[in-house]
Amino acid sequence: MAIMHRIAIVGGGTAGWMTACLMAKAWPGAEISVIESPDIGIIGVGEGSTPSLKRFFRQLNIPDSEWMSACNATYKTNIEFIDWSPASGRHSYSHPFITQLDSFSERALYSNCFSRRMGIDVETRPEKFLFNAYLAAAARAPVTPANFPFRLEYGYHFDAFLLGQFLRKKATDAKVQHLQLTIAQVVQQPNGDLKELVSQDGQRISADLFVDCTGFGSLLMQKTLAVPFESFASNLFNDSALVIPTAALAELPVQTKATALSNGWAWQIPLQNRTGNGYVFSSAFINKDQAETELRRHLGLLNSDVQSRHLTMNVGQLKQHWYKNCLALGLAQGFIEPLEATALHLVQTAVEIFIDQYSLSAATPSQQSHYNQSISERFDKVRDYIVAHYKLNSRDDSDYWRANRANTDLSDSLLQILDCWYRKNDLDQEIKRQQLSSHFGTTSWHCLLSGYGVYPALAARPNGEPKYIDPFKEQQLEAFFSACLLNFMPQNELLNIYQGT
Ligand SMILES: Cc1cc2nc3c(=O)[nH]c(=O)nc-3n(C[C@H](O)[C@H](O)[C@H](O)COP(=O)(O)OP(=O)(O)OC[C@H]3O[C@@H](n4cnc5c(N)ncnc54)[C@H](O)[C@@H]3O)c2cc1C
């Protein structure tokens, strides 16, 4: 531990403060500072999470009632993908977070998807098989009653600015030092390690370990250490986003909506005090003004003067996430477009792995290389799942969608998954063989492939052929889940209790 006694985290966005909280908890003896520029703002988007954020707050012993009230947060059990695949004959499909309760139904989903791949007409809509989609349809909070015997998984929606402030307070309470300085110069040791940071007003901060959380600017890793960046632009075309908030919804949903538009997709994220909306698009296919007009039309805001905010996105990852005595986290280390809201999940996982490995002993080159490989693979796995959305949808209303579907720049791993599906082989075995479950497991892949209707035509079935046994119907899954639902209260009611109203 001695070599990392002093830790300087540069950047006070969500990544910087999450990192500070986790490191302060893991290493109470370390001197940790967060240096945040008063002049360079945070990106201020990133308002949806995966279930890993639940684990984050549990580690810090912070109850939902406390932080959710402070950050206008809502629960998230599901993402609903709307208008992505007209040819499937379905308006939308769901990708819920998988919970313990789904152990009753996952096999039925796999089995029916397999039958459907053989041309048999059975129920394959993912939202019919997975409990969190039922909660989403009913806008009920995923909080388990004391006597409910199964653990639920869920994520959240939250205000990124408020979450930053909340975590800053928690970190400074845990003795993390907060310095409001803009770093103008970074001084290196003769061996290339970072030595100290120099602020615009001449203050010098030295440390043993530096953490680059400076957002897309990547001040330490890219600008100072010249670590190369691997772009994902050849298979993830979206490079721009546009944000327009609207009023809060009366009944707060427990899901994110991702609606396909002409040249990308729009998110809808429900918060307690407002609704977050944005359009993620490719500037090669639509310009900013056209995108803004389209989003305003989608939101019914064509004649409104509500302010918009445009952002550009640098999609890809650093070739090394930990280099010399510097670790990069958050947008400074890379970014995959937010379709599955995985960015903070990757930040958290990376910090947890780093803490785990670095606690063992001082860093060796092989530890560093093992860490880099492990984080890179995680980025690749998430990227492949996102790429699959663009490859498998059936929209045909613009060059953007046609170019996405014609894209042949697919990883071997993704090609093998698709090959397995089309050849009617066992997808569960394939996901296990490739060890892909740490981010998107078998059930998630079934949601995606089935949700987009990646199936052959139905087979002709001779009269009198015995009826296929459909485990969805046999096990009466819909009735079972609907009965389970009675245990859960509407999200609005629970949030009112949290707020003490
Ligand atoms: C359109 C869009 C949608 C997104 N949606 C999601 C989502 O739903 N879920 C999700 O998990 N993630 C999402 N993300 C990603 C998410 O926004 C980020 O991962 C998250 O906000 C963390 O950002 P950050 O802390 O890395 O960077 P930032 O928020 O940009 O913070 C950078 C910090 O560095 C500081 N800084 C920079 N330069 C200096 C300097 N010279 N000196 C001192 N300080 C400096 C700044 O002051 C700031 O505090 C989305 C991103 C985009 C672009």
Number of H helices, E strands in the chain: 16, 22
| Helix (H) or strand (E) run with residue 265 in it | strand 264-270
For ligand 1, the distance from its centroid to the CA atom of residue 309, given in whole angstroms, is: 15
SS3 111: helix
pLDDT at res. 460? 81
Please state the atom number of ligand 1 nearest to the C-alpha of residue 183.
42
For ligand 1, the distance from its centroid to the CA atom of residue 42, given in whole angstroms, is: 5
Q: Are residues 414 and 480 in the same domain?
A: yes
Taking the alpha carbons at both ends of the chain, their separation in whole angstroms is: 47
Share of the chain above pLDDT 90, in %: 91
| Helix (H) or strand (E) run with residue 404 in it | helix 399-406
The one-letter code for the residue type at 363 is A
Q: What is the dihedral of CA 474, 478, 479, 485, to 10 degrees?
A: 150
The protein residue with its alpha carbon nearest to ligand 1, atom 41, reads: 183
Please state the atom number of ligand 1 nearest to the C-alpha of residue 345.
11
Cα maximum dimension of the chain: 86
pLDDT at res. 438? 83
Q: Are residues 194 and 299 in the same domain?
A: no
Residue 114 lies in a domain: yes
Q: Are residues 217 and 343 in the same domain?
A: yes
| Dist. CA 264–CA 401, nearest whole Å | 8
Q: pTM value?
A: 0.96
Q: What sign has the CA pseudo-torsion 435, 437, 442, 444?
A: negative
The protein residue with its alpha carbon nearest to ligand 1, atom 12, reads: 46
pLDDT at res. 359? 72
For ligand 1, the distance from its centroid to the CA atom of residue 14, given in whole angstroms, is: 6
For ligand 1, the distance from its centroid to the CA atom of residue 167, given in whole angstroms, is: 14
Q: Are residues 320 and 399 in the same domain?
A: no
| Dist. CA 240–CA 308, nearest whole Å | 13
For ligand 1, the distance from its centroid to the CA atom of residue 63, given in whole angstroms, is: 24
Residue 110 lies in a domain: yes
Closest CA to 314 of 382, 387, 225, 216: 216
Question: Final residue of a domain: which of 359, 381, 403?
Answer: 381
| Dist. CA 84–CA 117, nearest whole Å | 20
pLDDT at res. 466? 67
Question: Final residue of a domain: which of 356, 381, 406?
Answer: 381
Q: Are residues 221 and 368 in the same domain?
A: yes
Residue 61 lies in a domain: no
Q: Are residues 180 and 219 in the same domain?
A: yes
pLDDT at res. 35? 98
Q: Are residues 253 and 304 in the same domain?
A: yes
Residue 105 lies in a domain: yes
| Dist. CA 217–CA 207, nearest whole Å | 21
| Dist. CA 499–CA 245, nearest whole Å | 23
Whichever domain contains 220, its CATH number is 3.50.50.60
pLDDT at res. 1? 40
Task: Find out whether 151 and 144 touch, Cβ atoms under 8 Å.
Answer: yes
**Distance of alpha carbon 10 from its chain centroid, rounded?**
23
Q: Are residues 465 and 398 in the same domain?
A: yes
The protein residue with its alpha carbon nearest to ligand 1, atom 6, reads: 46
Q: Which residue has the tokens 């918009």?
A: 308
| Dist. CA 319–CA 317, nearest whole Å | 6
| Dist. CA 334–CA 233, nearest whole Å | 12
For ligand 1, the distance from its centroid to the CA atom of residue 214, given in whole angstroms, is: 7
Task: Find out whether 170 and 19 touch, Cβ atoms under 8 Å.
Answer: no
For ligand 1, the distance from its centroid to the CA atom of residue 387, given in whole angstroms, is: 22
Please state the atom number of ligand 1 nearest to the C-alpha of residue 160.
21
Domains held by the chain: number: 3
The protein residue with its alpha carbon nearest to ligand 1, atom 14, reads: 46
Residue 52 lies in a domain: no
Q: Are residues 112 and 173 in the same domain?
A: no
Task: Find out whether 445 and 417 touch, Cβ atoms under 8 Å.
Answer: yes
For ligand 1, the distance from its centroid to the CA atom of residue 161, given in whole angstroms, is: 10
Instruction: For ligand 1, pick from 35, 78, 214 the residue to mutate: most ligand atoms within 8 Å of CB.
Output: 214
Q: Which pair of tokens denotes residue 143?
A: 């909080």
Ligand 1 pocket by Cβ (under 6 Å): 10-16, 35-37, 40, 42-43, 45-49, 160, 182-183, 213-215, 217, 219, 241, 278, 280, 311, 313, 330-332, 338, 341, 343-344
Please write the tens of the pLDDT for every residue from 447-471: 999 999 999 999 887 666 767 788 8
Please state the atom number of ligand 1 nearest to the C-alpha of residue 243.
1
Closest CA to 309 of 381, 236, 401, 243: 243
* Cβ-proximal residues to 145 (8 Å cutoff; 6+ apart), any chain: 487, 488
Please state the atom number of ligand 1 nearest to the C-alpha of residue 39.
47
**Distance of alpha carbon 192 from its chain centroid, rounded?**
34
8-state DSSP, 492: H
Residue 295 belongs to domain spanning: 240-312
pLDDT string in tens for the chain (501-residue length)? 445 689 999 999 999 999 999 999 999 999 999 999 999 999 999 899 999 999 999 999 999 999 999 999 999 999 999 999 999 999 999 999 999 999 999 999 999 999 999 999 999 999 999 999 999 999 999 999 888 999 999 999 999 999 999 999 999 999 999 999 999 999 999 999 999 999 999 999 999 999 999 999 999 999 999 999 999 999 999 999 999 999 999 999 999 999 999 999 999 999 999 999 999 999 999 999 999 999 999 999 998 999 999 999 999 999 999 999 999 999 999 999 999 999 999 999 999 999 988 775 667 888 899 999 999 999 999 999 999 999 999 999 999 999 999 999 999 999 999 999 999 999 999 999 999 988 899 999 999 999 999 999 998 876 667 677 888 988 899 999 999 999 999 999 999 999 987
Q: Which pair of tokens denotes residue 48?
A: 């949806």
Please state the atom number of ligand 1 nearest to the C-alpha of residue 181.
43
Residue 491 lies in a domain: no
Q: Are residues 357 and 249 in the same domain?
A: no
Q: Are residues 369 and 416 in the same domain?
A: no
Q: Are residues 216 and 257 in the same domain?
A: no
For ligand 1, the distance from its centroid to the CA atom of residue 62, given in whole angstroms, is: 23
Residue 141 lies in a domain: no
Phi, psi of 82 (to 5 degrees): -110, 135
For ligand 1, the distance from its centroid to the CA atom of residue 55, given in whole angstroms, is: 21
Please state the atom number of ligand 1 nearest to the C-alpha of residue 41.
47
For ligand 1, the distance from its centroid to the CA atom of residue 453, given in whole angstroms, is: 35
pLDDT at res. 206? 97
CA of 308: how far to CAs of 159, 208, 226, 291, 293, in Å?
A: 17, 41, 34, 11, 11
Phi, psi of 88 (to 5 degrees): -75, -15
The one-letter code for the residue type at 71 is C
Residue 70 lies in a domain: no
CB atoms within 10 A of CB 2: 7
Question: Final residue of a domain: which of 294, 312, 330?
Answer: 312
Please state the atom number of ligand 1 nearest to the C-alpha of residue 256.
8
